[in-house]
Amino acid sequence: MSIDDDDRDGLNELHPAIRGLKTVCRCNNVKYKTLERVIRDGAKSIAQVASKTTATTGYCGGSCTPYIQRVIDEIHGVPAPAASKPASTDQGEKPWWEK
C-alpha cells in the first residue's frame, strides 16, 4: 500500500488506523505512523525527519518531500497555503476544451 501523488491529499480522510499503515516514502518503506511519531516527538524540518526515518533520501530524489512538509506543517499547526485559482479568460473566450 503506497501513496500516489493523487492519493496523498485524501490521506486525512482515511480512518487513523488505516492512515498509519500507508507508505509515505516508497524508496525506504517509511509508513505514515512512523512519520507522525517522529514529528510529534519534535522533528520540525525535512532534515530532522530524514535523519530519524531515512524518508526523502531514496533513489527517487525525495519525491515524497512536499507531502512530508505538509504533514510537518499540519502537525505543528502551520496553515496550508491557499489554493490558487486558474487564470480566467478576460476576453470572454471559452477555454480550448469547450470550443
Residue 56 falls inside a structural domain = yes
Residue 82 falls inside a structural domain = no
Residue 23 falls inside a structural domain = yes
Instruction: For the chain, 99 residues long, give each residue's pLDDT as a single digit of tens.
Output: 444 444 455 556 767 777 777 899 999 999 999 999 999 999 999 999 999 999 999 998 899 999 999 999 989 888 767 666 665 555 667 766 666
Neighbours of 44 (CB within 10 A): 13
Q: Give the range of the structural domain holding residue 58, as residue numbers without chain letter.
A: 5-75
Give the count of domains, the chain. 1
Residue 99 falls inside a structural domain = no
Long-range Cβ pairs for the range 8-15 (8 Å, 24+):
8/67, 8/70, 12/74
CATH of the domain at 9: 1.10.10.1100
Residue 63 falls inside a structural domain = yes
Pull the grid cell for residue 89. 479568460
